[in-house]
Structure 1
Amino acid sequence: MAMTEHHRLREVSLNDQRSLTIHRFGQPGARPKVYVQAGIHANELAGPLTAHHLADRLKAADEAGQVVGEIVMVPIANPIGLSQVQSGEHFGRHDLETGGNYNRAFFDVSDAVLQAVMGRLGSDAAENTRSVRSAILNALNEVTPRFAIDDLHVELQKLACDADIVLDLHTDSDAQMHLFLDPTQWPNAEDLAAELGVEVVMLARASGSNPFEETIAAPYVTVHEAHGEDHPIDVPLTVVVELRGLADVSDELAGQDADALMRFLQRRGCLAGTPGAQPQFTGVAAPFEHTTFLWATAPGIVAFKKPLGAMVEAGDVVAEIIDVSAMSTDGARTPVAAETSGKFFARSLTKLARPGQDIGKIFGTTQVEGRVGNLLSD
């Protein structure tokens, strides 16, 4: 039966109380368990609107007895960031108290979990997975949050840590639909990519700085790799779904995406019903190391010379940074060229550039030399 609960977050200022709204569908504790959250970057509003449309559909499905297992949804995963408004401008990506990115520095409890289950796993995958889930929750319960952002992080992890499928809804600045997921989950997640009409799938194990979905998967992956196939466990499907760009917020798109997610859940056996024929995935999937950034090398106003979604060649001028204070156009434009060939799939919605600013992304056809370490922009 569908229900809503409110989990109070730690009070960090006198008489200032925030909570997480949690929607639950199906039977608590039943399998498969699906966890959906939206808006950890609180300025990315397409996710919460899509979650709202999805919740309406799930409520109807639950009332019709069509939810198989349990579905947990947090439609607003960051009430702290949602309230950060200064001089009429919303700042939802970074925590104003600590400066931290809201989708970085989640708690990786892999080492504690591995130690807890060492020598306890057998040949039964279901029993092994239960042991790992229990160890993860125990490890998270031992975490002592320092700041409000840490308290938020650990509470979200507790809600998601035992799920079979985890969907973290985001948006880029101005972009085509794309996904982030662990390399071991491809092509397992091709049905999700196809349903959503995704153009780009980026495969990453440790992209840098412990984002949410990677820290959910990390303990399972660590235990699996340490024990091998003789001691099998079920590794959850954890996916970041980038629902286009910041400005792509509408009932039409949110409803379309919610319908696609419903069909995905039907196909995965989480909902009863017939999803119809699976669409064909026509995008491209490759390691995250294939992605390169377009960097501004001068201050000015950005004028893009290639449309979003264009295939570009290395050396192509994708944008120009214009010094509009110059009287003449001669010498007033600084070209920004592609370092690699590939799809120009994301760009900055902000057109005022400063040196060193990321103004776009290209998903290359080959791995970029030296593209290692922290792969995420902040």
Structure 2
Amino acid sequence: MSALHIERSNLKIGEHPTGLPLEVPVITLTGPADGPTVYIQANIHGAEIQGNAVIHHLLEAFKANPPAGKITLVPLANPIGINHKNGEFTLGRFDPVTGVNWNRQYHFDGALLDGFVAELTEASDEAIRQQFRAQLRAQINQRLDNPWGLTVGQNLCLRLQRMAVEADIVLDLHTGPVSARHLYVPSYTRERARHFNIPLNILMPSDFDGALDEACFSPWWQLSERFAAQGRALPVMVDAFTLELGSQEWLNVEDAKQDAAGILNYLQHQGLWSHCADPLPYTLTLQTQYACELSDYKALYSPSGGQVEFLAPLCEPVPAGQPLARLWHFNQLGLTPDNGLYQALALPCNAIPVLHFASASVQQGTELYKVLTNTFAL
């Protein structure tokens, strides 16, 4: 079997106040044959560490069965967020200076599409791919060269995005607060998204809202839509997904094998091992897969403050009217009969709970649960 070439480097994404560099590890694998370009990162949010274990298993699988193409692996993608601690908790979801979500600071300006389609109406698909990728690359570089400078988060995300923009497949590994495994699926990838074998799926439109997956698929999807409006069918040339791999502040290296298995299964269907017949070193246990549209992915907010008892198991259907939680009001002890100390919280429709808040102590307006509604088989 031909060898897999592996390089390890560090990407500078900023500097500490002391002047010491902030760096992110980057592992680049070049396979023995031509194939897709893949970019996989984990831990852009500081408490979401399980994706690093998945990258560990992926690297071992790639060593055992060298894939075609080029793969870039970026564990520990945000050293600032990872080190943002308060006591025993990791707070690294938001930039502590600006308050902006770390995963909402990538860049795409849709004005890039204006005029591009008209100039390349007669060009081949491959020429369009190359020229559009060059335009996206230039847009990121121009943003990085802003004479007014950038925030810490913008600088971090744009340097990561500059690697991701070169890829045909982008996978961003996350976790939720207390969460079941779920997948954000661009609607055009619905059929092949099944290969990840993730039980809960949210189908997304072509909008861009600052996340890495959107920054990678939205430009290509919108390009395809522009060509379609001109009467030409152009495939969406990049797949990008956000994979939510369970709960934050939790690491289980053994459990990470099932997510690595799903990713490898997807990559195998994308042609990374078409050059060889060796079986991949994993066993995939097939899951029942539910899905809903992003507009039907709903949040339940706490109607008042108190202490919440989460009742509904994640990833299991809950019928309308069945309580998801009890909201206790212990401030009423001694003033209210016991049966008045809590209120049951239910939904007006059938739903499948995806995640819930990490703390049992909540304010009015806290997002208690997120659920799939109007579900269907993926």
Q: CA deviation at 1:70?
A: 0.5
Which runs of structure 2 are paired with 1:151-300 in the superposition (5 Å)? 151-192=155-196, 194=197, 198-205=198-205, 209-228=209-228, 230=232, 232-246=234-248, 248-271=250-273, 272=276, 273-275=278-280, 282-300=288-306
Change beyond 3 A, Cα 1:320–1:29:
same
Q: 2:314 aligns with which of 294, 303, 308?
A: 308
Who is 1:43 aligned against?
Answer: 47
SS at match of 2:93: coil
Q: CA deviation at 1:32?
A: 0.5
Change beyond 3 A, Cα 1:274–1:60:
closer
Q: CA deviation at 1:207?
A: 6.7
Q: 2:329 aligns with which of 323, 348, 357?
A: 323
Deviation digits for residues 16-65 of structure 1 (CA, Å, limit 9, x no counterpart)? 3201211111159953001101011121111112112222332343xxxx
Q: Equivalents in 2 of 1:51, 1:115: separation in Å?
A: 40
Q: Which runs of 4+ in 1 moved over 6 A?
A: 276-279
Instruction: Report if the CA contact (8 A) 1:124-1:232 is conserved.
Output: no
Instruction: Report if the CA contact (8 A) 2:58-2:264 is conserved.
Output: yes
AA aligned to 2:84 is: Q
SS at match of 1:301: strand
Q: CA deviation at 1:148?
A: 0.9
Deviation digits for residues 69-101 of structure 1 (CA, Å, limit 9, x no counterpart)? 011111111112112123443211111011111
TM superposition score normalised by structure 1: 0.87
Which runs of structure 2 are paired with 1:82-93 in the superposition (5 Å)? 82-93=82-93
Deviation digits for residues 106-141 of structure 1 (CA, Å, limit 9, x no counterpart)? 212332254456412435212211111111101111
Instruction: Report if the CA contact (8 A) 2:104-2:211 is conserved.
Output: yes
Q: Equivalents in 2 of 1:213, 1:338: separation in Å?
A: 30
AA aligned to 1:178 is: H
Change beyond 3 A, Cα 1:90–1:29:
farther
Who is 2:373 aligned against?
Answer: 364
Q: Equivalents in 2 of 1:183, 1:114: separation in Å?
A: 24
Which runs of structure 2 are paired with 1:128-147 in the superposition (5 Å)? 128-143=128-143, 144=146, 146-147=150-151
Instruction: Report if the CA contact (8 A) 1:338-1:362 is conserved.
Output: no
Higher deviation after alignment, 31-40 or 114-123: 114-123
SS at match of 1:3: strand
Q: 1:340 aligns with which of 317, 329, 349?
A: 349
Q: CA deviation at 1:274?
A: 3.0
Q: CA deviation at 1:2?
A: 0.7
Which runs of structure 2 are paired with 1:75-114 in the superposition (5 Å)? 75-114=75-114
Task: Report sequence identity in percent.
Answer: 23
Which runs of structure 2 are paired with 1:111-122 in the superposition (5 Å)? 111-116=111-116, 118-122=118-122
Q: 2:12 aligns with which of 5, 8, 12?
A: 8
Change beyond 3 A, Cα 1:89–1:216:
same
Deviation digits for residues 309-340 of structure 1 (CA, Å, limit 9, x no counterpart)? 23122232210111123235232112221132
Which runs of structure 2 are paired with 1:42-61 in the superposition (5 Å)? 42-61=46-65
Q: Equivalents in 2 of 1:307, 1:231: separation in Å?
A: 44
SS at match of 2:57: helix
AA aligned to 2:266 is: F
Q: 1:353 aligns with which of 353, 359, 362?
A: 362
SS at match of 2:214: helix
Q: CA deviation at 1:279?
A: 6.5
Who is 1:374 aligned against?
Answer: none
AA aligned to 1:37 is: Q
Q: CA deviation at 1:355?
A: 0.6
Instruction: Report if the CA contact (8 A) 2:208-2:214 is conserved.
Output: no
TM superposition score normalised by structure 2: 0.87
Q: CA deviation at 1:67?
A: 1.9
Root mean square deviation of aligned Cα: 2.5
SS at match of 1:133: helix
Q: Equivalents in 1 of 2:268, 2:24: separation in Å?
A: 27
